[in-house]
Amino acid sequence: MKLKFLVSGSIAALAAFSAPAQAQTEIQWWHAMGGPLGEWVNDLAKGFNDSQKEYKVVPTFKGTYDESLPAAIAAYRAGNAPNILQVYEVGTATMMASKGAIVPVWQIMKDAGKKFDIGAYVPAVAGYYTAPNGQMLSLPFNSSTTVFFYNKDAFKAAGLDPSKPPTTWPEVTLAAAKLKASGSTCPLTTSWQGWTQLESFSAWHNVEFATKNNGFGGMDARLVFNGPLQVRHIENLANMAKQGLFVYKGRGNVPDAAFISGECAMSMGSSSTYGQLNKVAKFAFGFSTLPYYPDVPGAPQNTIIGGASLWAMSGKPAEQNKGVAAFFEYLSSPEVQAASHQRTGYLPITKAAFELTEKSGYYQKNPGTDVAVNQMIRKTTNKSRGVRLGNYVQIRAIEDEELEQVWAGKKTAKEGLDEAVKRGNELLAKFQAANKG
Amino acid sequence: MAAEKRVFFRSRWLPWLLLAPQGVVIGVFFFWPAFQAMLQSLQQTDAFGGSVEWVGLDNFRALWNDPTYLASFQTTAVFSVLVAGLGIAISLLLAVFADRVVRGAAIYKTLLIWPYAVAPAVAGVLWLFMFSPSIGIASYWLHALGMSWNSLLNSRHAMALIVMAAVWKQISYNFLFFLAGLASIPKSLIEAAAIDGARPWRRFWSIQFPLLSPTTFFLLVINVVYAFLETFAIVDAATQGGPGRDTSILVYKLVYDFKALDLGGSAAQSVVLMLILIVLTVIQFKYVEKKVNY
């Protein structure tokens, strides 16, 4: 009798002690931010976890964008997907076309009873991730845009005014000529050539990149970036290349190194390079808006964002979805947004965050950091909201391949762009076939 | 190859039991994925597996109609011939030299074997940095010699870059086998030839090379497979298939399309690559092995 009492008593005590202090719901977040950006991600999760007790966001670095996406897909197919997945902007069409694999942002917020006002978001940023019916599908997270950067010291040495960067393409050509005359081996280069010289270029001039509003209107969109303006622009760059004014320095963001080392005096690339330049550049540098052709009506309009957004995966219990919604709400709060924007150089995704940063005097203390935002705050048109095309990762590779042939002098600008459009359209047709019905 | 040793097992099931773990590994890690790839190559599917459609040979037809894919056959052929040829020739030369060295032999051998431990991606990045048109030390020297090295826009330069990186990595492996092969040649044969007045060059071609033929044949098969499959990381790190598509070997396009989530297309490419390698290996075993003296 006594033994029985002892045993049941100790079992009860054990049970009481082993019950968790609070049942925290874990939210798995897979991302592709390494290095200092990875620390930023971890700090965001920690900030959220510290601010409440119900949910715990667990961020996991899963490699680069094009490694983490296949990993998540494999996990999803095995029934093991994370709650939140960071997907790069070119994967948007793939995520949107996935049947039932994701829960749209507006839906997850609504189900959790959270207030969600899409008007609070910066149009050019939110528009990229919004469905044709105006509902937001994924939460913009780290959005950058295309900017022009220049080496102020090199400008001074060439007799150019370092506080007056060239804003139009004729001015850029003149500046490049002066820089070359003063001994520069690389007056102008560009990173992410597909993004800066074709996509963002088209939006900046309010010219169509693809039909159906650059793909927002349907999967039967087709590429049209071999139009007269784009051909003219690539031909200009090819001519500059022949004269040694424009020097090709590689794909992706490899050319950033050429600018940071001081080899190239002017370049175009992502606004998120700001953080890196601030840390390591040994010269005075400046940021400016992307150059435009002044004779094109409607230019400059706005530029297209890069970076990534956060998608909520489906098939998760309602409690976890509530946690995802709470985290999204936290991320969108003006204070968190403003702090992130100032720390990383990525754009603030809400207007309130932009105003908060402005009021704090941050833009005055750090000239050039508002260039990216100013390009984006404008109202967008149907041709400048962004680009939403399937198989876009491969299309970007095609753009790189054909442009390289133009720079090498193997093809004319028109031939290169025509070929790129033709090959890209085949991929779009394939995507349409694979995702219909 | 040494004469076969026959081992006789008294029980009927023990051999199978001993082979079973290896069999399971091959089954799970080779046959199952290969089978899945073959299935996937006949399907058109969206990334998440939500909609799967059987399209028969459409993926293969799309590859056949893609001129860039056909061009990459030629690129891969040129690349493999260069890598296998140079890899075997250079390592054979080094092995013959190392065989004759008496003093400090261990140092030379260690240095020559070291690159094998380097991961392919690291090798690609290493050579990329050395030969980078902007910041590479080797391109600096080349410029000083009057050669305008630009692997970003010049296809020949880009191909040279990846061939160098791929061969450098594989030399160690080949070197080890050649060294062992040379050591197994009875010294008496060489001495006899020397007494008969044969010069080193003649001794090599008449005695050492024929007796090395099993090793050379083995390395030929291995090097071709290496050039086709294991060089992906080098191309990815060094040139990303550029400029244009001029260093886009078959395996590079395959992995790129997979990462771009074209699952049917990349599965079809992997099936084609598998068939090519099977055919090449069969050819090698059928025709080249005849010339090997065991």
Alpha-carbon span A126 to A117, nearest angstrom: 11
Alpha-carbon span A312 to A299, nearest angstrom: 36
Confidence of residue A4 (pLDDT cuts 50, 70, 90): low
Contact A394 B135 (CB under 8 A): no
Alpha-carbon span B173 to B170, nearest angstrom: 5
Picking from B252, B227, B230, B255, the residue whose alpha carbon sits closest to that of residue B239 is B252
3-state secondary structure chain A: CHHHHHHHHHHHHHHHHHCCCCCCEEEEEEECCCHHHHHHHHHHHHHHHHHCCCEEEEEEECCCHHHHHHHHHHHHHCCCCCCEEEEEHHHHHHHHHCCCCEECHHHHHHHCCCCCCHHHECHHHHHHCECCCCCECCEEEEEEEEEEEEEHHHHHHHCCCCCCCCCEHHHHHHHHHHHHHCCCCEEECCCCHHHHHHHHHHHHCCCCCEHHHHCCCCCCCCECCCCHHHHHHHHHHHHHHHCCCECCCCCCCHHHHHHHCCCEEEEEEECCHHHHHHHHCCCCEEEECCCECCCCCCCCCCCCEEEEEEEEECCCCHHHHHHHHHHHHHHHCHHHHHHHHHHHCCCCCEHHHHHHHHHCCHHHHCCCCCHHHHHHHCCCCCCCCCCCCCCHHHHHHHHHHHHHHHHCCCCCHHHHHHHHHHHHHHHHHHHHHHCCC
Rg (CA), chain B: 23
Q: How far is B121 from chain A (nearest CA, A)?
A: 15
Contact A101 B259 (CB under 8 A): no
Question: Choosing among A389, A395, A400, A417, which should be mutated to test the B contact, i.e. which has the most B CBs within 10 A?
Answer: A400
- pLDDT over 90 at A41, yes or no: yes
Contact B242 A401 (CB under 8 A): yes
Task: List pLDDT tens digits, range A125-148.
Answer: 888 888 878 888 999 999 888 999
Please classify residue B145 by burial: count the beta carbons closer than 10 Å to its beta carbon, then call 0-12 exposed, 13-18 middle and 19+ buried.
exposed
Please classify residue A412 by burial: count the beta carbons closer than 10 Å to its beta carbon, then call 0-12 exposed, 13-18 middle and 19+ buried.
middle
Whether the pTM exceeds 0.95: the reply is no
Cross-strand partners of B198: none
Q: Is A283 on the interface with B (CB under 8 A)?
A: no
Q: What is the pLDDT of residue A15?
A: 53
SS3 B182: helix
Task: List pLDDT tens digits, range A47-73.
Answer: 999 999 999 999 999 988 888 888 898
Question: Choosing among A430, A431, A432, A436, which should be mutated to test the B contact, i.e. which has the most B CBs within 10 A?
Answer: A430
Residues of B in contact with A437 (CB under 8 A): 51
Q: Which range, of A119-133, A193-207, A252-266, A401-415, averages the lowest pLDDT?
A: A119-133
Contact B134 A258 (CB under 8 A): yes
SS3 B150: coil
SS3 B101: coil
Confidence of residue A21 (pLDDT cuts 50, 70, 90): very low
In angstroms, the Cα distances linking A130 to A104, A121, A219, B112, B278 are 10, 11, 15, 57, 48
Contact B48 A98 (CB under 8 A): yes
Find, in chain A, the residue whose alpha carbon is nearest to that of B264.
A434
> Which A residues in the span 76-135 are in contact with B, Cβ-Cβ below 8 Å?
76-77, 91, 94, 97-101
Confidence of residue A29 (pLDDT cuts 50, 70, 90): very high
Question: Choosing among A405, A406, A411, A425, which should be mutated to test the B contact, i.e. which has the most B CBs within 10 A?
Answer: A405
**Mean pLDDT to the nearest integer, A20-35:** 81
Q: How far is A435 from chain B (nearest CA, A)?
A: 6
Picking from B22, B74, B8, the residue whose alpha carbon sits closest to that of residue B276 is B74
DSSP string, B221-249: HHHHHIIIIITHHHHHHHTTT-STTTT--
Contact B262 A407 (CB under 8 A): no
Contact A407 B153 (CB under 8 A): yes
Residues of A in contact with B62 (CB under 8 A): 430
Show the domains of chain A with their CATH numbers.
Answer: 23-143+305-365 (3.40.190.10), 145-304+389-434 (3.40.190.10)
Contact B243 A404 (CB under 8 A): yes
Write the residue in A258, A391, A408 that is nearest to B260 by C-beta: A391
Contact B240 A257 (CB under 8 A): no
Q: CB of B44 within 8 A of CB of B264? A: yes
In angstroms, the Cα distances linking A55 to A111, B64, B179, B188 are 17, 52, 62, 79
Contacts of B23 (CB under 8 A, 6+ apart): none
- pLDDT over 90 at A391, yes or no: no
Q: How far is A353 from chain B (nearest CA, A)?
A: 34
Cross-strand partners of A307: A143
Q: CB of B177 within 8 A of CB of B109? A: no
Residues of A in contact with B70 (CB under 8 A): none
Structure tokens at B77: 């052929």
Picking from A164, A205, A158, the residue whose alpha carbon sits closest to that of residue A184 is A158
Count of pairs with CB atoms under 8 A, one residue in A, one in B: 96
Q: Is A64 on the interface with B (CB under 8 A)?
A: no
Contact B68 A423 (CB under 8 A): yes
Residues of B in CB contact (< 8 Å) with A are 44-51, 53, 62, 66, 68, 134-135, 152-155, 240-245, 256-262, 264-265
Better-predicted residue by pLDDT, B5 or A217: A217
Cross-strand partners of B43: B54
Alpha-carbon span B214 to B292, nearest angstrom: 6
Question: Choosing among B43, B48, B148, B258, which should be mutated to test the A contact, i.e. which has the most A CBs within 10 A?
Answer: B48
Per-domain residue ranges for chain B? 70-291
Alpha-carbon span B85 to B223, nearest angstrom: 9
CB atoms within 10 A of CB A283: 15
The phi-psi region of residue A252 (left if phi > 0; otherwise alpha if psi is between -120 and 50; otherwise beta) is left
Contact A400 B135 (CB under 8 A): no
Residues of A in contact with B258 (CB under 8 A): 70
Alpha-carbon span A416 to A411, nearest angstrom: 6
Helix (H) or strand (E) holding B54: strand B52-54
What residues of chain B score a pLDDT lower than 70?
1-5
Find, in chain A, the residue whose alpha carbon is nearest to that of B254.
A394
Alpha-carbon span A299 to A1, nearest angstrom: 91
Picking from A310, A381, A397, the residue whose alpha carbon sits closest to that of residue A48 is A310
DSSP strand pairing (A25-31 vs A84-88) = parallel
- pLDDT over 80 at A290, yes or no: yes
Tokens 């090698």, residue located: B284
Structure tokens at A374: 């100013």
Find, in chain A, the residue whose alpha carbon is nearest to that of B151.
A250
Alpha-carbon span A3 to A322, nearest angstrom: 46
Q: Is A407 on the interface with B (CB under 8 A)?
A: yes
Task: List pLDDT tens digits, range A329-380.
Answer: 999 888 998 888 888 878 888 888 888 988 988 888 877 778 888 877 777 7
Helix (H) or strand (E) holding B190: helix B187-195
- pLDDT over 80 at A20, yes or no: no
Contact B244 A405 (CB under 8 A): yes
Examine residue B243 and say whether the peptide bond preceding it is cis (omega within 30 degrees of 0).
Answer: yes
Q: In CATH, which of 1.10.3720.10, 1.10.10.60, 3.30.70.270, 3.20.20.30 is domain B70-291? A: 1.10.3720.10
**Mean pLDDT to the nearest integer, A180-194:** 94
At residue A2, what is the residue type? K
Contact A66 B259 (CB under 8 A): yes
Confidence of residue A14 (pLDDT cuts 50, 70, 90): low
Q: What is the pLDDT of residue A11?
A: 61
Rg (CA), chain A: 24
Q: What is the pLDDT of residue A13?
A: 55
Contact A434 B68 (CB under 8 A): no
Alpha-carbon span A65 to A253, nearest angstrom: 14
Tokens 């010699």, residue located: B145
Q: What is the pLDDT of residue B225?
A: 92
Confidence of residue A19 (pLDDT cuts 50, 70, 90): very low
Helix (H) or strand (E) holding B43: strand B43-45
Structure tokens at B243: 């400029």
Write the residue in A98, A258, A401 that is nearest to B244 by C-beta: A401
Q: Is A199 on the interface with B (CB under 8 A)?
A: no
Alpha-carbon span B171 to B168, nearest angstrom: 5
Write the residue in A99, A400, A407 that is nearest to B50 by C-beta: A99
Alpha-carbon span A358 to A175, nearest angstrom: 32
